[in-house]
Structure 1
Amino acid sequence: MPGKRDLEESDGDGVHLEDANKRLHISSSDGEGLLQTIEKKRLDFYSEKVCSVTLSTIDVYSCLTCGKYLQGRNEGSPAFKHSIEVSHRLFMHMRTLKTYILPENRQLRNAEVLDQIKYGFRPTYESRQVANFPQECKDLNGQPYLNGFIGLHNISNNDSSNVILLMLAHIKPLRDLLLLNDDLLDKADQFVNKLTLLIRQIWSPRLFRRHVSPHEFLQYVATHVKQPRSLNAHSDPRNVLLFIINRMMNSSCGEIRKTLTENIQGTVTVSTTKIVSVPNDDGNSIKFVLDTRTSKSSDIRFWMLSLDLPAKPLFKDGKSANSLPQVKLEQLIRKFDGTVEQHLKESIRLNKVTQCPPYLILHIKRFDSGKFPVKDRNQTVVEFGQEIDFCSTKYQLFMNIVHEATKPAMNQEVPVLDENSRWKIQIRNDKDDTWLELDEGNVRKREKELLFLNETYLQVWERVTTA
């Protein structure tokens, strides 16, 4: 078990590289030699920080030579034994980001390579820097990438989570809060802490490799957070988004709650009037009329608006885009302008959005709760442009999450009749008005005029502000 000294991480034993000769009995050249043992390409910034020997998350260090996570640095600890058995000497503490030489148990600092590694584990930002994002960057191998527009590893069919994490990373007020408020890394609850760190890594201009893994965040959610039944490995992005938003709203951070409600949440007024039966004038039949005396209305806050597609055609006429039914987005969104009646069992309902958020999230309902929800989904093509007028507000399309069905593997003992879902996100780079599609590790340009040909499922529209 680690001692009290390890947990406190006192600065009293710190030494500079230049005076290592006196304090550690190693020459300056030996100190430089230790830095040469660092293998940056083997470091893992994205896995859960848990000791590979004790499975503890307390007082964990990263070996800067092989990348293993090991506990403690006092005599007999896994990190101490590792330094003796394989002669790996440099270890960085995962909470304080201080580097120590083992087995001497002395701190080493003031080295550029250590600063690079610290930034990899915990990126920090300034407001002037964030205002110029995204920017062209290069990884360790000299490969170019655009920060923020990078792929996330699909660890185990978690692409439905990946597209939502990228969506949240690009909602500017939330992004800026997570990048600039360092308290969210230290004082917030662990869910917000892990989410903040992941968003910071997505926007890092100094990535060692031009992709990021959400492993640490997803592992924490899987093992520490109670999840609703609707959330599982094959969840649709809508459920993932609502889960993350609700979890953030239940956090102790008031700034996050305020940012979400001011930028994503809107209000819809729902009016309901009962239908009653009355006899006709001839007395031989009845008719149904609205009983205005039963009319009532209520204001409901929403995170997204769900749009209903027209019913699927009874007979299919091929599978090309031209053969699929098509509908305009403007027609679907009329559901919330207060003029389109929804006929319920015993009443009529009208929905009218009375408060539009700066970021309007639209959900297009394609799946039902049948036996084969993916195979039997509604594939209606939704036509949309780059701008839309809604509730006397002009919006510009900002993000588009699309669905793609794939055939299941056929070498399984039990036949699977339903198809698999694959999710991608298309994001507009407002610096040059180009669209990029993020599909796992692949980043491709897309023509904005052809975005509607995909199976759109979720969209984010950004309110256009007039100068």
Structure 2
Amino acid sequence: MSKRPATEDLDAMEDVASPAPKKFRSDGEESLDGRMAEMERNMRALTPQVPQSRQQQPVTATDDADEGDDDDAPGVVAPIRQAAPTAGYDDLYLDSIDRHVLDFDFEKLCSVSLSNINVYACLVCGRYYQGRGLKSHAYFHALDEDHHVFINMQTQRVYVLPEGYEVLSRSLDDIKFVADPRYTRADVARLDRGRSSETGLCYTLTGKTYTPGFVGMNNIKENDYLNVVVQALAHVPPLRNFLLLDEFGSGTALQKPKDGKTKDGALTNTNAELVKRFGLLVRKIWNPRAFKAHVSPHELLQEVALRSNRRFTLTAQSDPVDFLTWFLNNLHLGLGGSRTRPGSSIVQRVFQGRVRVKSEKLEAVGAAAAAAAAAAAATEAESNSFSNEMQIDTQLPVRSGVPQQQQHQIPPPPGFGGTGFGGFSQPPPPGMSMHAPSFAGPPGMPSMGSSTMTPPPPSSLPPPPSSSSSATPTSAQAAKAASLPPKPDSDVSRFLLLTLDLPPAPLFQDEQERNIIPQVPLATLLEKYDGQASRDQGDVRRRFRLRGPLPPYLVLHMKRFSANKFVTERNPTIVTFDPRGLDMRPYVEDEQGNSLNKFIGDEDDDDMIYDLVANVVHEAVRARSDDVAVDSAEERRTWKVQLRDRSGATSSGAADDKRNNGVGNNEDKWVVAQDLFVEPVAGELLYLAESYIQIWERRKRPVPGPASNGAKGRKAVPVNGASKK
């Protein structure tokens, strides 16, 4: 802008004094408060002059009080806000975006205010800031650092600051997909198919190849226990497809009461955010257009620590089984599941089964013996009291004038012979006659001179006690009932995972003076659920039997750790298994309690055959290298997971494997994932590690081909030695 020409000649105005400065125009010296008030009035006057057109129109502050003010003074430019970019500048500032620094896996919190409300991510430096208004942290970041492109982490809309208009360029679709991946049903259906040009290997920004679903997870400090559980659950197809399609329904949304009003904006489902973050993490694991070949569970870990009351954190190692149990139950509640109604969520429909538990108290045997002995003692005491009542133990009085030898002479009872019992001091029993005529019988009985026995009248005999005659058979029945053990209690319970007990480790060493590492087949551990083997837990003996039908996926837990008052002991027993064809028929019964191993038909063979999907293994690592005292060195727990890559074989090849007893040219591939490292592993070597958690998938029936004319396909034959009857 050129300076306007002067209206008068400057040479003719040499003697004219120059005008006073603006701050000295008033009669007296202006106070600081007055100057501040004037500045506020000027700023308020500039506010309605902000243009809202499509072009930038700077507004210059003027002083209406003095028209002769110096025009060379710099003007005050008001903030510029635009509803749309300037024509021809739609891609302005987009070249400053750096995709290499973008990482949307961490929790969405403002780096200044630590708030999670209305968070924006800077696409130039990757930091999180709150808001995009005139006084927001993102607005000041745009002015201070000259970073202008921001994305809303909730709506996935991109804005340019400080102008404030939205960018609608399709070149940002890859960033939006990485921040929140979305899939269609066709995309999900192609995940488990064979490799092709569409579902081949994917590439990162640096050119590194990776396979969707088999990416590493960042171990921030001690959160590998969570990584292996998330990796295993992300490869359960029903649960994975449900999360990829984001079919959470109303169970995880902001539910309102029936009257349509919420109190304080609170969530009625407190676990909704947990399900939301877990679903986002699973979608990132299966992302075919990721910028890097790994993901970070930081956002999920923060929610888990909050919901578990700091029970599971990223700084302390925990047990994967404890976390899996807690996580599945909270996922069930977060998906709108019921605490009492089974099968009310996808978690229970996939993992929940039934088991019959028969309980018997061990102390019942000792209690029955004691009760029988007490009843027998009571019966004997009652019989003794009855005999004592029929006897006379009092001494007879001595009569004067009668010799001492003749006072107590009584005739002997029949069969004893002799003329009397001179040595006895007791009278004869009632009903027996006296041989000596000098002895008078009991009152009411005539004295008899012969030794023959005559029955006394019925009225003269004392009546037997009625209580003893009726109590004797009752006490015998009670003793007999008490001697029998109580009947065991049978109850049907529901489970999400089955615990298998490992045999105790050997205490002695082999010939090379090394501890023997025992091995046990998986079928031996499953005998716990055959209904015959018993497990003693305290004073209760229990027997378990699986109740059909079995769930689509079985979760098995090998109990390796046992804690006492001092230390936690680890059982290093190796569990041998075949990853294909686990036969569960010997351990299942129907609703009537009949074993399905005997009455199973050909049509239901595949309903009891399971194939391995994921295997979480434990690995002990020495915390310090101590060559002198190796036994005293501390051990640190590390976890890794073995995953089946079912996309390595086509659907027809998988059917051919079933016809060949699980052995064919197109076998499933296996990979082992430990933190950021993902490596292939042979399926025959899976059992060499210390298995801790296993997820087995029920084998599906082969779909009949078009040439079969509706006939059923051939059935798979179990490979673990089970035969059909």
TM-score range, shorter chain: 0.7 to 0.9
1:397 deviates by: 1.2
Tell me how far apart the structure 2 counterparts of residues 79 and 186 of structure 1 sit (CA, whole Å).
29
The aligned counterpart of 1:70 is 129
Q: How does 1:48-67 map to 2 (within 5 A)?
A: 48-67=107-126
**Relative to structure 1, is the Cα distance of residues 290 and 436 closer, same or farther in structure 2, using a 3 angstrom cutoff?**
farther
Q: Which residue of 1 aligns with 2:638?
A: 422
SS in 2 for 1:100: strand
Q: Which residue of 2 aligns with 1:10?
A: none
Mapped contact 1:274–1:291 kept (Cα < 8 A): no
1:233: Cα distance to partner?
2.2
Distance in structure 2 (CA, Å) of the matches to 1:307 and 1:145: 36
Query: Take 1:361 and 1:72, find their aligned partners in 2: how far apart are those partners?
Result: 45
Q: Does 1:117 align with 2:175?
A: yes
Match of 1:160 among 219, 225, 232: 225
Closer, same or farther: CA 378–237 of 1 in aligned 2, 3 Å = same
Shift of 1:344: 4.2
SS in 1 for 2:524: helix
| 1:92 corresponds to 2:148 | no
Q: Could you tell me how far 1:168 is from its partner in structure 2?
A: 1.1
Aligned 1:57-456 pairs, distance under 5 A = 57-112=116-171, 114-133=172-191, 135=199, 136-181=201-246, 183=248, 189-226=272-309, 228=311, 233-254=316-337, 257-275=344-362, 276-277=365-366, 293-317=486-510, 323-355=516-548, 356-370=550-564, 371-373=566-568, 376-386=569-579, 387-391=581-585, 393-409=608-624, 418-431=634-647, 432=649, 433-456=668-691
- Displacement after TM superposition at 1:320 (Å): 11
Change (3 A) 1:57 1:456: same
Question: Identity over the aligned pairs, expressed in percent?
Answer: 37
Answer yes or no: is the 8 Å Cα contact 2:530–2:545 preserved in 1.
Answer: yes
Q: Which residue pairs with 2:446 in the alignment?
A: none
The answer on whether the counterparts of 2:181 and 2:284 sit within 8 Å (CA) in structure 1 is yes
Compute the displacement of 1:140 (Å).
1.5
SS of corresponding position for 2:349: helix
CA distance in 1, matches of 2:160, 2:330: 40
What SS does the aligned partner of 1:310 have? coil
Where in structure 2 are there 5+ consecutive unaligned residues?
Answer: 1-51, 55-81, 193-198, 255-268, 374-481, 586-596, 598-607, 627-631, 650-667, 703-725
Structure 2 residue matching 1:341: 3-state secondary structure? strand
| Higher alpha-carbon Rg | 2
Secondary structure in 2 matching 1:166: helix
**1:124 and 1:200 in contact (8 A); partners too:** yes
**What are the ranges of 5 or more consecutive residues in structure 1 without an aligned counterpart?**
1-12, 16-21, 284-288
Aligned 8 A contact 2:219 2:675 in 1: yes
Give the structure with the higher percent strand. Answer: 1
Name the TM-score, length of structure 2 as normaliser. Answer: 0.56
Change (3 A) 1:23 1:324: closer
One-letter amino acid matched to 1:38: I
More deviation in 315-324 or 399-408?
315-324
Distance of 1:344 and 1:230 partners within structure 2: 32
CA RMSD of aligned residues (A): 2.9
State the secondary structure of the residue aligned to 1:425.
strand
Deviations 1:390-434 (A, max 9, x none): 1351111111111001112479xxxx9641111000011122300
Distance 1:47 1:347, change over 3 A: closer
SS in 2 for 1:340: strand
Cα distance in 2, alignment partners of residues 120 and 169 from structure 1:
18
Quick one: structure 1 residues 126 and 101, their matched pair in 2 at CA, closer, same or farther if it must change by over 3 Å? same
Seen in structure 2, the aligned counterparts of structure 1 residues 129 and 322 have a Cα distance that, compared at 3 Å, is: farther
Partners in 1 of 2:512 and 2:107 — Cα distance? 43
Number of equivalenced pairs: 433
**CA spacing shift, 1:124–1:88, aligned 2, 3 Å:** same
Tell me the SS of whatever aligns to 1:343: strand
